[in-house]
Amino acid sequence: MSNDIAVSSTAKIPQVGQGNLKPAHLVILEKNKGTEKFITLDKPEFLDNWVHVKGIFSVSSEEEIILNYRDMLTTAKSEAIVEMFFPIQRINSIRNLVYKAK
């Protein structure tokens, strides 16, 4: 019996945050007087007449959210991150914040 066993790793371990990119979306919701903005952590899930999302509410302008959404999501307190079900009738628009048209 031989004790000549060599074990090595050939796979590269991804760095933190690498390969774990989920597309953030901006959901604009109708409110009594005006709109409400919600930034998602990942892709919204459509369930019958509901949209399931996880993320944060924001009072910032749409332009500011588009430019700074990564910072807003990374600096958000854990208490501010919520899981919500919005009725589809209340949703004005959903915009992918990661995709940039050329």
Q: Where are the domains of the chain?
A: 25-96
Percentage with pLDDT > 70 across the chain? 77
Q: How confident is the model at residue 8 (pLDDT cuts 50, 70, 90)?
A: very low
**Nearest alpha-carbon partner for 43 in 22, 70, 29:** 22
Average pLDDT score over residue span 29-55 = 92
Averaged pLDDT of the chain: 83
pLDDT score for 72: 93
Cβ distance 86 to 53 under 8 Å?
yes
Both tokens of 35, joined, read: 């709109």
Q: How confident is the model at residue 25 (pLDDT cuts 50, 70, 90)?
A: very high
Q: pTM here?
A: 0.75
As a whole number of angstroms, the distance between CA 54 and CA 7 comes to 42
Helix or strand run (H / E) with residue 66: helix 62-75
